[in-house]
A and B are shown apart, each in its own frame.
Chain A
Amino acid sequence: MCGIVGLYLKNDALENKLGELFEPMLISMTDRGPDSAGFAIYGDEVQEGWLKLTLRHHEEGFDWSTLTDQIATALQCEADWMSNANVAVLKVKADEAAVREWLSAHYSEVLILSAGASIEILKEVGLPENISSKFSLSGMEGSHIIGHTRMATESAVTMEGSHPFSTGSDLCLVHNGSLSNHNRLRENLKREGITFETENDSEVAAGYLTWRLNEGDSLKEALESALNDLDGFFTFTIGTKNGFAVMRDPIACKPAVLAETDDYVAMASEYQALASLPGIENAKVWEPEPATFYIWERH
């Protein structure tokens, strides 16, 4: 039960203002989700052969520099890092599986929030306002961003249970609603090799998409099969490397509104999250249809 917001820029000139435009959108959804908040921002893409990870350690002053040096030595690769509060963005010129294996062997307490070429996921327990300010959201740059404010239903209020959930390389998902068949599905997905950090229903939706994409589905195919296999109520927004996708379940009770101008496409649970965007008065504003998905991607 939550608020969802997303902003995808069509006009490159606005990229240095992405965080500034997005922050009020996220904060306006505080009433829908006062428990935790998070966002996935896409930008600062690494070069071919490099991997970008967002890592989190529970301690603010964690020594990321040493970790980076160690991984560079161990995997004999180039590596770089920058930290933001207790989260770090690690860039390594190495294979993802090798990096994950090394991290879990040497720093099992470090959580990998995202992996890809462009994605960074930042999320935390608390009010959206505090999380925006903790990670200095307003100064961030990028091409697109999706965010979430959470009103926890059944699973615990934790950082791990916060959205967005990573669903594979440069992919993530945010959810508003409540799935009703996630427990059995989680067991099935575990047998397929998907791992879960929480009892959260939305994480199962994310894991489901990860599984379908691993099996070779396109995003479109994965979403089509999600409509058949997920039971309950959902509005999803999915961040992709080049854009984002929006989908509602066939009953379509959970709200969603989309807006498009020449400069951007924006998505939110409620119109008030869009009200601060420039040119919104003249935007095309509409609601997504049930059991239909909408994908915007730059090519």
Chain B
Amino acid sequence: MNTFDLTNNTVTELNHALHAQKGNVSQADWTVTNPKGSHNLAVGLDEALNVDIHGHAGYFCAGMNKTANITVHGNVGQGVAENMMSGVVRVKGDASQAAGATAHGGLLVIEGNAGARCGISMKGIDIVVKGSVGHMSCFMGQSGSLVVCGDAGDALGDSLYEVHIYIKGEVKSLGADCIEKEMRDEHLTELAALLEKAGVDEDPASFKRYGSARELYTFKVDNASAY
């Protein structure tokens, strides 16, 4: 176990050390202490490393992650796991806005609440939030799944493409072109697998499914008010 204390080392030194593991992993397990809200922690990882960050992280923590398994024992700032490709990012506390933005793959678990724009423009990632998500979540979401065990804020799934959205609690309002859809067997199966992967004990049958009405896929004059 390598411990990296950010009181004595810079974020750049941390990222350098983690990047140096690429292609030749000599140290798989890393502990980061005293992050104190620093930005850009453990970004651009490209190996099966286990990184535990003890404390709160700032913006873009675990950005563009590939393969690595990163856990933040605290809250994270804007854009956690933004553009993640694969691997697992787990946040024990709350996440600020744009969690999992544009991410292509992997699993993001937020054990607390996520702020606005959770999963904005997501492109294949699976996001599981134990708490609630803020407004404009999944805006322009393209593919992947968003699971929320709490409530969703205003304009959920606005201008949605093909993300599967599952919400257990209340949805304050749906965004343009987002509708509630029937929960069929394949969706229950998918949701159960996601909940299990995330380690969340919830009954899939207690969720509702939302998706794109696909009315904005090609421009029609009668939809002009939605633009």
For B169, the chain A residues whose CB sits under 8 A away are none
| Bound complex: CA A253 to CA B37 (Å) | 19
Check A257 against B134 for contact (C-beta < 8 Å). no
Which of A252, A255, A286 meets B94, CB within 8 Å? A286
Sample of 4 more A-B contacts, CB < 8 Å, known A270-B59, A275-B56:
A252-B135, A255-B97, A285-B75, A287-B97
Check B135 against A271 for contact (C-beta < 8 Å). no
| Bound complex: CA A276 to CA B34 (Å) | 11
Q: Considering the complex of A and B, which 8 residue pairs feature the smallest CB-CB distances, nearest first?
A: A272-B37, A271-B37, A275-B36, A275-B37, A271-B56, A287-B115, A252-B116, A272-B58
Which B residues contact A (CB, under 8 angstroms)?
36-39, 55-56, 58-59, 75, 77-78, 93-94, 96-97, 113, 115-116, 134-135, 153
Which residue on chain B has the smallest CB distance to residue A31? B39
Check A270 against B77 for contact (C-beta < 8 Å). yes
| Bound complex: CA A245 to CA B96 (Å) | 20
Check A287 against B56 for contact (C-beta < 8 Å). no
- Known contacts: A255-B78, A270-B77, A271-B75. The answer to whether A287 contacts B96 by CB under 8 A is yes
For A252, the chain B residues whose CB sits under 8 A away are 97, 116, 134-135
The answer to whether A289 has its CB under 8 Å from any CB of chain B is yes
A-B contact list, 5 entries, CB within 8 Å? A252-B116, A255-B97, A270-B58, A270-B59, A285-B56
For A255, the chain B residues whose CB sits under 8 A away are 77-78, 96-97
Check A257 against B96 for contact (C-beta < 8 Å). yes
Check A290 against B135 for contact (C-beta < 8 Å). yes
The answer to whether A274 has its CB under 8 Å from any CB of chain B is yes
Check B116 against A290 for contact (C-beta < 8 Å). yes
For B97, the chain A residues whose CB sits under 8 A away are 252-253, 255, 287
- Known contacts: A252-B116, A255-B78, A271-B77. The answer to whether A285 contacts B94 by CB under 8 A is yes
Q: Which of A263-299 contact B (CB under 8 A)?
A: 270-276, 281, 285-287, 289-290
Check A272 against B115 for contact (C-beta < 8 Å). no
Which residue on chain B has the smallest CB distance to residue A281? B55
Which residue on chain A has the smallest CB distance to residue B114? A287
For B78, the chain A residues whose CB sits under 8 A away are 255
| Bound complex: CA A255 to CA B58 (Å) | 11
Which residue on chain B has the smallest CB distance to residue A273? B37
For B38, the chain A residues whose CB sits under 8 A away are 272
For A274, the chain B residues whose CB sits under 8 A away are 37
For A253, the chain B residues whose CB sits under 8 A away are 97
| Bound complex: CA A285 to CA B56 (Å) | 10
For B115, the chain A residues whose CB sits under 8 A away are 287
Check B37 against A270 for contact (C-beta < 8 Å). yes
For B75, the chain A residues whose CB sits under 8 A away are 271, 285
| Bound complex: CA A276 to CA B93 (Å) | 19
Check B36 against A272 for contact (C-beta < 8 Å). yes
B101 to A: closest C-beta gap in Å: 12
| Bound complex: CA A246 to CA B96 (Å) | 17
| Bound complex: CA A257 to CA B75 (Å) | 11
| Bound complex: CA A276 to CA B55 (Å) | 13
| Bound complex: CA A281 to CA B54 (Å) | 11
| Bound complex: CA A159 to CA B2 (Å) | 48
Check B37 against A289 for contact (C-beta < 8 Å). no
| Bound complex: CA A275 to CA B115 (Å) | 20
Q: Which of A217-241 contact B (CB under 8 A)?
A: none
For B96, the chain A residues whose CB sits under 8 A away are 255, 257, 287
A190 to B: closest C-beta gap in Å: 35
| Bound complex: CA A286 to CA B116 (Å) | 12
For A271, the chain B residues whose CB sits under 8 A away are 37, 56, 58, 75, 77
B199 to A: closest C-beta gap in Å: 23
| Bound complex: CA A18 to CA B72 (Å) | 31
| Bound complex: CA A270 to CA B96 (Å) | 10
For B55, the chain A residues whose CB sits under 8 A away are 281
Which residue on chain B has the smallest CB distance to residue A248? B116
